[in-house]
Structure 1
Amino acid sequence: MNNKSASARRRVIVIGAGMGGLVTALLIAARGYEVTVFEKAARSGGKLRQVMVDGHAIDSGPTVFTMRWVFDAILAQAGANLDDHLDLTRAEILARHSWEDGSTFDLNADKQATADAIGHFAGPEEAKGYLAFCQRTAEVFQSLDNSFLRNSSPSPLGLARNAGLSGLVGLARIKPFTTLWRVIESYFRDPRLRQLFGRYATYCGSSPFEAPGPLMLIAHVEQAGVWLVEGGMIRVANMLEQLAKDRGAIFSYGADVAEIVMTNGAATGVRLASGELVQADAVVFNGDPGALFGGMLGDQAVSAVAPWRPKQRSLSALTWSIAGRTEGFALSRHTVFFSGDYRSEFTDILRQHRLPVDPTIYVCAQDRDAAADSQGRAGGDERLLLLVNAPARADEVPLSEAEIASCKRRVTERLARAGLNIEAQDRKRSVTTPQDFARMFPGSGGALYGKASQGWAASFERPRARSSINGLYLTGGAVHPGPGVPMAALSGSHAAQAVVEDLTSTATFHATATPGGTSTRSAKMARMH
C-alpha cells in the first residue's frame, strides 16, 4: 500500500450498486482508491433482484449468466478467481419453445445437436440455414468483440479502421444497415424459427423488426455457454459486493443521492437526500441516464448526457413471481410460449402503448436444471418467473388495474392452451408492473434497457463512460456497450478504466493495493463545508 494516509488518497463516489456500479467499485478499490457506494435500496443488485414470495426467493430480473469470460477477466484484474466464488453449471438446454400450433422445440447447447433437431423439426434446408447462421454470428462476434464491446469509445469509422482494409467485406457482413428480422429471414423460411431467433432483439429491449442486424451476435453468445448460478443470480451481485468490500470499498444502503454537486463545471461530490454533502475526486453514476437529463440529480447534471424521447425507450415488462405447482406442459429451466402474430405484438407495445393482445410469455422455472428431462420440486411449490413485454410509458400512460388483470387472464389462457396449468394462491404471487420499475429506476419510465436499439446507429448513440461533465462517469445497462448482465459489467470496467486514467493523470502519487487485501481506512469520507 502507498505510505500516504487514507485521507490523502483519491476518493471516488459510486451512485448505485447495480452490476455496473459493483464492477466499477471493485476495480477502482482494487487499484487503491477510496471508494464509497451510495445505494438507495436496501441491498445491491439493481435489476439483478430477488423477490420473496411465501418464503421463496425468486430471481425476478435477469435469469441467465453468459459471457463468463467477461467476469473471469474482471475478477483477474482484482486478484480473484471466478470459480472460487460462484458455483456454475452449464445448461444443456438453452431454452424450450412452444407455439400455438402445439409444436415445441429445444434449442440445445450443442450446435450439431440443435442442427439435427431443426432438421427433424423443420426440414434439412432449415438445418443448413441454422449452421450457416451460426457461422455468421460467430463472425459478427469476432468483428465486434474487441472493436466495439471492449472498446470504451467505439465509432463507425473506428470500427472500420480496426477491421482493416481487408476486413471491410467482413464488416459489411455484420449487416449494420439491415434489421435483425430481415437477417433472420435470409437464413430461415420457417416462421417459427424466425420468431425463435428474432426474439434475441428483446434481450436488448427492442423489436426485431427495428433492431439492427448485428444483434445476431447474441445467438453466438448463448451458444458459447449459458450458465446456471447456484443460489440464484443475486449471488453474482453478492460476490462483487464482497470482493469490493474486501478491497476497502464502503457500501452505504438506504442512501438516496439527491444531487450531484458541481464546482467550476466539474463533479466534485454528492448531496444526499438527508442534506449531507460528501466530496470526491470523481463521481460514477450507475442509473438510468433519464434521471440525469430529467433533472433528478440536480440542474447542473442535466447536460451530462444527450436526452432521448419516451418513444425511443426500450421495452418494459409485466412480471409475476410465483411459488406454485405446475402440471401438464413439461417446462425446461427457460421456456418461451410464442404469440401467434409477432409483428402485432410489437405494434401493440411500441405504437399503441398497450400490453399486447397476444403476448409472448417467458417462464423461468428456477428449480429445474435446464436438462432435457428436467423436473421441478417433487411434491412442493416450484419457483417461477413469468414475463411479458410491456410499454415503457409508466410516467405518461400508466397501466390500469383492469389492463393488468386482462393480461393475466390472457397469459393464463395461453399457457392452458399449451397444456400448462399453474396452481398458486394469491399470497404466492407477486406482480411487478412498469410503474413499479419506474419507481425502482427513476428516470426510466419503466424501461429496462435504456434507449431502444432502433436503426444502425443506435449502438453508437448510447452514453459512454465519460459524460459531458468533467469528473462525472457513467455505467450500467443503459450505457455502452448495452444491456444484459455481462454488458453492464463491461460498462463498469470501462468506467473504472476512465476514472483511473483521468485521476492518475492529475495525481501527485499513484496509489496501489494488494489484490484481496482489506483496507482499514475510515468508514467516513471527508465532508464538504
Structure 2
Amino acid sequence: MTRADGVVIIGAGIGGLCAAAQLAGAGVPVTVVERMATPGGKLRTVDVDGVAVDAGPTVFTARWVFDALFESLGERLDDHVTLVASERLARHAWQDGSRLDLWTDPTRSRDAIGEFAGAAEARGHDGFRAEAARIWTALEHRYMEAPVTTPVGLALRFGLGGIGEMLAINPFETLWSALGKHFKDPRLRQLYGRYATYCGASPYQATATLMLIAHLEARGVWLVEGGMHKVADAIAALAAARGAQFRYGADVREIRVTGGRASGVVLADGEHLPARDVLANCDASAIADGRFGTAAAGAVKGTAPRDRSLSALVTMMTADATGFDLDRHNVFFSNDYAREFDDIFKHGRLPAAPSVYLCAQDRGLGPPPDGPERFQIIVNAPATGDGHPPGPGEIEACQTATFAALDRCGLTLRPRSMVPVGPAMFEALFPSTGGALYGRASHGWRASFRRPGSRSGLSGLWLAGGSAHPGAGVPMAALSGRLASAAILSARASTRTFLPMATAGGISTPKATTAASA
C-alpha cells in the first residue's frame, strides 16, 4: 500500500534505487514501481543458453560513492557486495599486433606507455594525467556532487579567485584536439579518446573536460563477484530493509497531476498509487513525449534525436576463445577511428570498421574456465531505434566485421550461443531514447548544462538517472539519485519549517582521495 504522504519512484535503475534507500532511511514511505522483473535497469543480465550474462555496464568505478551511501545508513558496502580491486584497468590491442595494458599504478602505466611508444609519449602521459586530475578536482564537489547549475552559477561556485581553475577544465576545446597536445602517437589518442564513449560521445565532438573520466577510472576499477547486477540487488535490499516497497512487473501509464502538483501515478491496469512526491528514474524524454500522460509532459524538455548519445550493438554470448590472452576488460581498436564516428553520428549507421569492447566475464578473479566462457561485446551504434534502426542485414554485416577485427588482433572466438541487442531493442527497453544509452551526448561545452536537474518544472515531480544531472554512468546515476533524494528531503523540511534551506539537495560523500590517487 502506498501512502499519500510518501514517494513513488518510477524505475528501479541505479538512480532510483539509491534514492529509495536514502529516502526510506530518512523515514519517508517509498514505493518503487518497476516494469521489469528485477532491479537494476541497465544493470541487468540476459540468459544465454541457460547462463546469466551481464548485459549492461561492466566497469565498477568510484566505489566511494557507494561506500558513502551504505555508510550513511549504518552499513558497509563490503558486507553486501564482494568487490575485488583490479590492478589492470584494461588490455588494449590494435590490428597491427601492438598491445598495451594500463594499470591502477600510474608509474606502471607510464612505464608501459614508454615501452609501447617511447619516452616522449611517457612524458605526454604525465601531462595528460595532471590535466585530467586538475579537471576532476575542480568539478567533483562543485559540479558532480552539487545540484545542477548554469554556467554563471558554476562560476560563482569557483568564486573570483577560482576563475583560472574553472577555465582550466578546458570546456571549449574538443577532447581529440586536447589529446594531440599530450600524445603524438595516434594509438594513444585513440585509447584516451575512447573515454568520451563512456558517456556516449564522440571524441571528435566532446569537450576536453571529459578527460576527467580517465582520471576517475585510474583511481580504481573493481570486479564484482557474481556480476554487476549484484550491486543493484544490494542497494534494493538496503532500501527494502528500511521499509521501501517494490512493485516489479508494474508499468506506469500516467503521472497523476492534481492542483498543479504531481500526486501519484496510475499503473497500466488502472491502479492509482497516491504520493506526495513522484521521482522519475527514467529518461527525461519519456516524460516530455507524453509517455506518462499529457499533464506531466511539459515538466521537462526532451532530447532531440540529433543530440542523442551513442546507442550500441551489444552481443551477449558463450564462446570458446583462443589466440589472445584476455583480461576482464579488453578493447580492440579499428584502423580508422574518425570514420567510425562519422558512420554513427553523421550518417546514422553502424560502423563499417568498428572498435570493439569485450568483457570476458569469467576472467580476472581466477583462471579461465575449461570450455566456453561468458562474453559481452559492445560496438558503438547510432540512437536510431525509434526511426530507422539497423536491420538484420546491417547487424549481421557489423557482427562479421567485429569478429574479423578481433581475429586481426589475434583473438578467435567460436560462439556457442549468442543474444544480440541493438538500438531498436534498447528503445523498447528504455522508451523515447531511440536506444541512446547515455541521455544527451556531451558534445560542446553547453551540453552538460542542458541536462535536467533533480527538480522538474512540475511541483512534486523529481528526476534521477543517466539523462539527468550529473550525467551517465553507474556512479553518476547513483549521485543523481542521492541528489534527488536530498532535494526531496530539503523541500519537505522547508515546507515543515517555512525556513529557507542553505542548499537545495546537495550531498556529501567521503573525499575520493581515500581511494588510490592517479
Structure 1 and Structure 2 fold alike (TM over 0.5): yes
Name the counterpart of 1:399: 390
Name the counterpart of 1:471: 460
Q: Secondary structure at the match of 1:347?
A: helix
Name the counterpart of 2:510: none
Q: What are the residue-to-residue correspondences of 1:200-349 with 2, within 5 Å? A: 200-349=195-344
What is the rounded CA distance, in whole Å, between the counterparts of 2:298 and 2:407 in structure 1? Answer: 50
Query: Alpha-carbon deviation of 1:394?
Result: 1.0
Opposite residue 244 of structure 2, the aligned amino acid is A
Contact 2:354 2:380 in 1 (8 A): yes
What is the rounded CA distance, in whole Å, between the counterparts of 1:15 and 1:382 in structure 2? Answer: 35
Name the counterpart of 1:424: 415
Name the counterpart of 1:384: 375
Query: Alpha-carbon deviation of 1:165?
Result: 2.4
Name the counterpart of 1:453: 442
Query: Alpha-carbon deviation of 1:330?
Result: 1.3
Post-superposition Cα deviations, 1:393-420, rounded to whole Å, max 9, x if no partner, equal: 1111121110011111111111111121
Query: Alpha-carbon deviation of 1:457?
Result: 1.0
What is the rounded CA distance, in whole Å, between the counterparts of 1:508 and 1:239 in structure 2? Answer: 35
Opposite residue 62 of structure 2, the aligned amino acid is M
Query: Alpha-carbon deviation of 1:153?
Result: 2.2
Contact 2:299 2:456 in 1 (8 A): yes
What is the rounded CA distance, in whole Å, between the counterparts of 1:349 and 1:8 in structure 2? Answer: 46
Q: Secondary structure at the match of 2:295?
A: helix
Contact 1:267 1:282 in 2 (8 A): yes
Contact 2:356 2:378 in 1 (8 A): yes
What is the rounded CA distance, in whole Å, between the counterparts of 1:383 and 1:319 in structure 2? Answer: 13
Contact 1:269 1:278 in 2 (8 A): yes
Query: Alpha-carbon deviation of 1:105?
Result: 0.5
Name the counterpart of 1:526: none
Of residues 152, 155, 180, the one that matches 1:157 is: 152
Name the counterpart of 2:185: 190
Contact 2:4 2:274 in 1 (8 A): no
Query: Alpha-carbon deviation of 1:50?
Result: 0.9
What is the rounded CA distance, in whole Å, between the counterparts of 1:152 and 1:59 in structure 2? Answer: 31
Query: Alpha-carbon deviation of 1:8?
Result: 7.7
Contact 1:30 1:78 in 2 (8 A): yes
What is the rounded CA distance, in whole Å, between the counterparts of 1:355 and 1:56 in structure 2? Answer: 28
Post-superposition Cα deviations, 1:132-174, rounded to whole Å, max 9, x if no partner, equal: 1111111111100010000112322222222232322122111
What is the rounded CA distance, in whole Å, between the counterparts of 1:17 and 1:499 in structure 2? Answer: 18
Query: Alpha-carbon deviation of 1:9?
Result: 7.8
Name the counterpart of 1:199: 194
Q: Which moved more, 1:132-141 or 1:489-498?
A: 132-141
Q: Secondary structure at the match of 1:299?
A: coil
Of residues 497, 501, 505, the one that matches 2:490 is: 501
Q: Secondary structure at the match of 2:178?
A: helix
Name the counterpart of 1:517: none
What is the rounded CA distance, in whole Å, between the counterparts of 1:440 and 1:495 in structure 2? Answer: 23
Runs (5+) with no aligned partner, structure 2: 499-518
What is the rounded CA distance, in whole Å, between the counterparts of 1:76 and 1:506 in structure 2? Answer: 28
TM-score of the superposed pair, with normalisation by structure 2: 0.94
Query: Alpha-carbon deviation of 1:207?
Result: 0.3
What is the rounded CA distance, in whole Å, between the counterparts of 1:277 and 1:166 in structure 2? Answer: 52
Q: Which moved more, 1:93-102 or 1:235-244?
A: 93-102
Of residues 490, 501, 507, the one that matches 2:479 is: 490
Contact 2:97 2:410 in 1 (8 A): no
Post-superposition Cα deviations, 1:455-486, rounded to whole Å, max 9, x if no partner, equal: 00111110100001000000001110000000
Shift of the 227–419 alpha-carbon distance from structure 1 to 2, 3 Å rule, reads same
What is the rounded CA distance, in whole Å, between the counterparts of 1:284 and 1:92 in structure 2? Answer: 38
Q: Which moved more, 1:416-425 or 1:491-500?
A: 416-425
Q: Which moved more, 1:289-298 or 1:163-172?
A: 163-172
Q: Secondary structure at the match of 1:468?
A: coil
Q: Secondary structure at the match of 1:284?
A: strand
Opposite residue 442 of structure 1, the aligned amino acid is P
What is the rounded CA distance, in whole Å, between the counterparts of 1:359 and 1:502 in structure 2? Answer: 47
Opposite residue 388 of structure 2, the aligned amino acid is V
What is the rounded CA distance, in whole Å, between the counterparts of 1:26 and 1:263 in structure 2? Answer: 27
Q: Which moved more, 1:299-308 or 1:211-220?
A: 299-308
**2:96 aligned with 1:107, yes or no?**
no
Opposite residue 366 of structure 1, the aligned amino acid is Q
Q: What are the residue-to-residue correspondences of 1:38-117 with 2, within 5 Å? A: 38-117=33-112
What is the rounded CA distance, in whole Å, between the counterparts of 1:17 and 1:109 in structure 2? Answer: 31
Opposite residue 392 of structure 1, the aligned amino acid is A
What is the rounded CA distance, in whole Å, between the counterparts of 1:40 and 1:8 in structure 2? Answer: 20
Opposite residue 192 of structure 1, the aligned amino acid is R
Opposite residue 80 of structure 1, the aligned amino acid is E
Contact 1:365 1:376 in 2 (8 A): no
Opposite residue 381 of structure 1, the aligned amino acid is P
Task: Tell me how large the CA RMSD over aligned residues is.
Answer: 1.5
Q: Secondary structure at the match of 2:291?
A: coil
Q: Which moved more, 1:73-82 or 1:231-240?
A: 73-82
Shift of the 264–362 alpha-carbon distance from structure 1 to 2, 3 Å rule, reads same
Contact 1:51 1:57 in 2 (8 A): yes
Opposite residue 121 of structure 1, the aligned amino acid is F
Query: Alpha-carbon deviation of 1:347?
Result: 0.5
Query: Alpha-carbon deviation of 1:498?
Result: 1.0
Q: Which moved more, 1:399-408 or 1:49-58?
A: 49-58
Contact 1:323 1:424 in 2 (8 A): yes
Name the counterpart of 2:513: none
After TM superposition, the runs of 4+ consecutive aligned structure 1 residues lying more than 6 A away are: 6-9
Number of matched pairs: 498
Of residues 4, 25, 28, the one that matches 1:30 is: 25
Name the counterpart of 2:114: 119
Aligned-pair identity (%):
49
Post-superposition Cα deviations, 1:324-362, rounded to whole Å, max 9, x if no partner, equal: 110001111111110111111000001111000110000
Post-superposition Cα deviations, 1:360-411, rounded to whole Å, max 9, x if no partner, equal: 00000011117xxx7421x221110011000001111121110011111111
Contact 1:9 1:33 in 2 (8 A): no
Q: Which moved more, 1:254-263 or 1:81-90?
A: 81-90
Name the counterpart of 1:433: 422
Opposite residue 217 of structure 1, the aligned amino acid is L
Name the counterpart of 2:399: 408
What is the rounded CA distance, in whole Å, between the counterparts of 1:477 and 1:491 in structure 2? Answer: 8
Post-superposition Cα deviations, 1:292-346, rounded to whole Å, max 9, x if no partner, equal: 1111110011111122210110000001111111000111111111011111100
What is the rounded CA distance, in whole Å, between the counterparts of 2:239 and 2:71 in structure 1? Answer: 13
What is the rounded CA distance, in whole Å, between the counterparts of 1:395 and 1:491 in structure 2? Answer: 26
Post-superposition Cα deviations, 1:419-445, rounded to whole Å, max 9, x if no partner, equal: 2111123xx211111111000001111
Contact 1:147 1:154 in 2 (8 A): no
**2:5 aligned with 1:13, yes or no?**
no
Q: Secondary structure at the match of 2:374?
A: strand
Query: Alpha-carbon deviation of 1:10?
Result: 2.6
What is the rounded CA distance, in whole Å, between the counterparts of 2:154 and 2:495 in structure 1? Answer: 30
